[in-house]
Amino acid sequence: MFLKKIACGLLCAAMLVAAGCGGVGTQTGGDKAYLQLTDAAGRQVSLAKKPERVVSLSPSYLSMIEAVGGTVVGRASSKVGKIPESMKSVPEVGMVYNINMEALVGLKPDLVLASKNQHDKFIPMLQSNKINVVEFDTQTFEDVKGTIKTLGDIYGTQDKAQKENELLDKQVAAVTSKLPKEKKRIVIMHATASAVTVEGSHSIAGCVSDILGFENVAAAALKGKSNKTPYSMETLVEQNPEIIFITSMGKPEEIENRLRTDFKNNPAWNSLPAVKAGRVYVLPEKLFLINPGLRYPEAVKFMAQQVYPEVFTNGK
């Protein structure tokens, strides 16, 4: 990786010199470029001028773009997740995973916002069309705030972005301040009764539970591993988490009912005390599977509410 970076840097420098961009070498553009940034994939991106035709390859960025006062000329379609009203009529460039490059390039974007891992394969093609790409990673709350900040930089609306982030922080603090000071032992699993898959801190639900100060019993074993990992049920029984959260796909109520009966009829699941005690909560997909973006505080509140319903009974 490191060598690659060096090679990349050298190549860039060589190209700059070759193009006659002037003798400042690697520091070029510091005062010329509109914006220079390092994106979530560690790529250096330099925007020569303020982008005017932005396309978002991930629908979950749209509400954040709207919040910082930005606009897009194209977006990916999605079967799940909400698209802001004002962006519904914007031309679509295919499904998130399966972007239609012709439609995308046809929109003549000057900046494409992509999702790390999901869209890596499209980057070389975009670069060969001389289209700038910024990749984001939006699993954790910090990621989301970082994304908003970067979007503010891109659209030149830093103040709006900062306000938005302060608002998010305040909303999250409003939830966490109400919680009793105790460390609930929890585990987050990915829905399906036929596999045992846990999520660590680098997932939306994992990050939310960290914000709430819960102890994720599986976190130690996962470390930096990918966010969904098959896990031993035996170890779960031994670790005995008090609460099981389930990240779901589909309608949460149906899934909750379904899982409860599935669990009841399966002695293996029934060995978990949390299952016996009925402390299994389904997390809705719109907040915990696809990135909630601006609704992160909602996700935080949702999870807190499941565990401490008594704290959140009055009003909000």
Partner 1 sequence: MENKQSAEQTEHFGIGRTKWRITILVIFLFLAVLGSFLSLTKGSSIISIKEITDILLNPGDDPRSQIIWNIRMPRTIVGALVGINLSLSGAILQAIMRNPLADPHIIGISSGAGLAGVVIMILFPAMEYLITPVAFIGAMLAAVCIYILAWKNGIKPVRIILAGVAVSAFLGAGISGLMIFYSDRVHGALMWMVGGLAARSWPHVNIILPYAVIGLILALASAAYLNILQLGDEMARGLGVNVEVTRIILTAIAALLAASAVSVVGLLGFVGLVVPHAARLLIGSDYRFLLPASALLGIAIVTLSDTFARVIFAPIELPVGIIMAFLGAPFFLFLLRREI
* Residue in the block written with tokens 């046809």: 106
- Alpha-carbon distance 24 to 42, whole Å? 23
Binding mask 191-210 for partner 1 (x = CB under 8 A): xxxxxxx-------------
Closest approach of Cβ 100 to partner 1, in Å? 12
What is the CB neighbour count within 10 angstroms for residue 102? Answer: 10
Task: For residue 237, state whether it binds partner 1 (rule: CB under 8 A).
Answer: yes
Q: C-alpha distances in angstroms, 233 versus 56, 274, 278, 295?
A: 40, 13, 17, 32
Task: For residue 229, state whether it binds partner 1 (rule: CB under 8 A).
Answer: yes
Closest approach of Cβ 231 to partner 1, in Å? 6
What burial class does residue 89 get, using C-beta atoms within 10 Å of its C-beta: 0-12 exposed, 13-18 middle, 19+ buried? exposed
- Alpha-carbon distance 259 to 282, whole Å? 9
Residues in the chain, overall count: 316
Interface with partner 1 (CB under 8 A), residue total 50
Task: For residue 230, state whether it binds partner 1 (rule: CB under 8 A).
Answer: yes
* Stretch of 23-31, 44-52, 173-181, 217-225 contacting partner 1, by CB under 8 A: 217-225
Which 64-123 positions form the footprint of partner 1 (CB under 8 A)? 79-80, 95-98, 118
Task: For residue 221, state whether it binds partner 1 (rule: CB under 8 A).
Answer: yes
Task: For residue 232, state whether it binds partner 1 (rule: CB under 8 A).
Answer: yes
Q: Which two tokens stand for residue 146?
A: 């970082």
Q: Which of 56, 139, 150, 248 touches partner 1 by CB under 8 A?
A: 248
Closest approach of Cβ 69 to partner 1, in Å? 28
First to last CA, the chain: 48
Nearer to partner 1 among residue 50 and residue 97 (C-beta)? 97
What burial class does residue 289 get, using C-beta atoms within 10 Å of its C-beta: 0-12 exposed, 13-18 middle, 19+ buried? buried
- Alpha-carbon distance 195 to 138, whole Å? 26
Q: Which of 38, 86, 129, 265 touches partner 1 by CB under 8 A?
A: 265
Query: Which residues contribute to the site for partner 1 (CB under 8 A)?
Result: 79-80, 95-98, 118, 190-197, 218, 221-222, 225, 228-238, 240, 248-251, 254-255, 258, 261-262, 265-271, 285, 289-290
